[in-house]
Structure 1
Amino acid sequence: MNWTVLVAFCIIDDLLKTLGHKDDPQSKTPASVVLTIWILAALFFSGKHKHALAYCKEHALFSFIPSRSRFCRRLHSLSDYIPLLLPLCKTLWEQLASVEHYVLDTFPLPVCENIRAPRCRLAPGLTLTYRGYIPSQRVYFHGLKLHLVCTDSQFITEVLCTPGSVADVQGLYLMPLDLPQASELYVDRGYTDYLAEDDLAMAEGIRLRPIRKGNSKRYHQPGQFIATLGRKIIESVGSALTELFPKRIHATTLQGFVLKVWGFIFAHNFRRLAGVL
């Protein structure tokens, strides 16, 4: 446990210095410590900050442990830096491990049960903005949709959170897709868009390998086998994230809910980095 936490603390501290972040002189707890406790909570305590703070205080992991309310305020103040850490972690991972291809997929993030959707406080409103559909289970959900790009070694490189009603192919247009030239991106049937496929190949040199329907104009049987085989890695990433998720992510605001989801993503990535370093 301590090795993963140590790796997370060292990397986060260096990355914050790279981003030019400076703590307030009166602050007793550096930003790197706040984010490390945030990662610790996601790794071992299902995202419960209270338990992570108590663990750090009991084992004296840091010189000063803030109160729960102070910790939440500090964490929310650092929310703008959290998405900026992911591209830097991606660069570090690409230097440590070889990457052959990338996989893009979406995961549902329900914030409540469907029957409670009309009175949900995290994602309020009676509109269909947060209402999404899971084709594999043939059920609807009320919440957010998580778009992930990961490598063939299960490292998450890009993240996008959208309302549940956003289609998968729209996420393809919204994500930056900062991938190397001549890289291959494996997707499922929900990303069938010939125009996007041609534009990515022409402008970015990214080859999209979708799992196509049988009546598709570009259906190719050998290519389907390769796409199906290459996309299987995303199922392992989804299982690893689901293992970290609690039965219900407790949050009082939608921003807090998204912050906890980011914590699980970084916890997964730092666990992969700890296994390599």
Structure 2
Amino acid sequence: MNILELFCDVDDFCQTLPPVHLWLTKPALPEQVGHSRQLRNRPTGLYLSEIMTILIAFHQSSYRHFKAYYTTEILEHGKADFPKAPNYSRFVELMPRALLHLVTYLYRRLGTCTGISFVDSTKLDVCRLKRMNTHRVFKENAALGKTSMGWFYGFKLHLICNDTGELLWVGLTPGNADDRTALRDFFQHDLFSLFGKLFADRGYISQALVTELLKEHQVALHTRLRKNMKCAVPVLSEDALFLRKRAIIESVIDQLKNISQIEHSRHRSPVNFMVNLVCGLIAYSRQPKKPSLIPEAGPLKLVA
């Protein structure tokens, strides 16, 4: 999809939402209230839909750094499409204005549950471990955590996808959060609906969680057992097959990190970190081809 088609889709979405002029004219951060220095709120030549288009288009491109993309594709080659685009520093100041609309746009692009879902989490590093004690940007939010790949400092991104690779739910927690607790929090929200079977890795093993999801939400949670555990209930061959096909969500995470670029350690603002993360998720949701399970004449086959 070219940038014109992307802009038309984003602009049509923005037309369905109420204007946010009053929200933009008020201080966005609590610490700005009562500030001794006069705060400026200069108007911009870009519409909100244009800001969103540039941010999403970057995550759909092959550029690894946003500054290189903006200065090359927007300021040099994109003058005809964005004649009033400001310089790079000014655009970075405008990025937080689009966060509210980006989150709403992502929510509207979530897929629908098909009865077969997969859940997993992945780490999002914000700095190297040796710089953890001097890190300031996410000092109040990030935490030290551990995965099967080792220790890290940052956040955990929790995902649920269906058998066609569409995102059904996205959650963000500190790095030391338990995956089972995050899954419980997901079912507390009425905005999301899940039914059928949910397949997870060994990090979600909990008999109490299995009973709770089945009794209160009619969702059957299936996980692989550890080597020292005995199977109390026989596992159906169909469920064992889907457990082996849980690699679909690993493929989704791989594309989010290596193609949509949701993870890097150059953030200088928590708000812009959220903008980068949400835009990466939107860019993935707009991919024409996603990892999926396609039933054929024989057993299910994982394709990308």
Q: Same fold (TM over 0.5)?
A: yes
1:1-277 equivalences in 2 (<5 Å) = 3-21=1-19, 27-44=44-61, 45-46=63-64, 48-57=66-75, 58-59=77-78, 60-90=80-110, 93-94=111-112, 99=114, 101-124=116-139, 130-135=143-148, 137=149, 139-176=150-187, 180=193, 182-214=195-227, 215-216=229-230, 218=232, 220-222=234-236, 225-244=240-259, 245=261, 248-272=264-288
Q: Which has the larger radius of gyration?
A: 2
Which structure shows the higher helix fraction? 1
CA displacement 1:85-114 (0-9 Å, x = unmatched):
222112xx54xxx94522111010111111
State the Cα distance separating 1:150 from its structure 2 match.
1.7
Q: Which runs of 5+ in 2 are unaligned?
A: 25-42, 291-304
Structure 2 letter corresponding to 1:48: F
Q: Equivalents in 2 of 1:267, 1:89: separation in Å?
A: 10
TM-score between both structures, scaled by the size of structure 2 = 0.75
State the Cα distance separating 1:68 from its structure 2 match.
2.0
Contact 1:104–1:187 (CA under 8 A) maintained in structure 2? yes
Contact 1:251–1:257 (CA under 8 A) maintained in structure 2? yes
State the Cα distance separating 1:221 from its structure 2 match.
4.0
Contact 2:127–2:265 (CA under 8 A) maintained in structure 1? no
TM-score between both structures, scaled by the size of structure 1 = 0.81
Q: Which shows bigger deviation, 70-79 or 241-250?
A: 241-250
SS in 2 for 1:153: coil
Root-mean-square deviation (CA, aligned residues, Å) is: 3.0
CA displacement 1:9-56 (0-9 Å, x = unmatched):
2332222233324568x6531111101100122222235145235302
Q: Equivalents in 2 of 1:239, 1:228: separation in Å?
A: 19
Q: Percent identity?
A: 21
Runs of 4+ in 1 over 6 A off after TM superposition: none
SS in 2 for 1:213: coil
Residues 186 and 263 (structure 1), Cα distance of their counterparts in 2 relative to 1, 3 Å cut: same
Structure 2 letter corresponding to 1:157: L
In the alignment of these two chains, the number of paired residues is: 263
Q: Which runs of 5+ in 1 are unaligned?
A: none
Q: Equivalents in 1 of 2:264, 2:94: separation in Å?
A: 23
Residues 184 and 115 (structure 1), Cα distance of their counterparts in 2 relative to 1, 3 Å cut: same
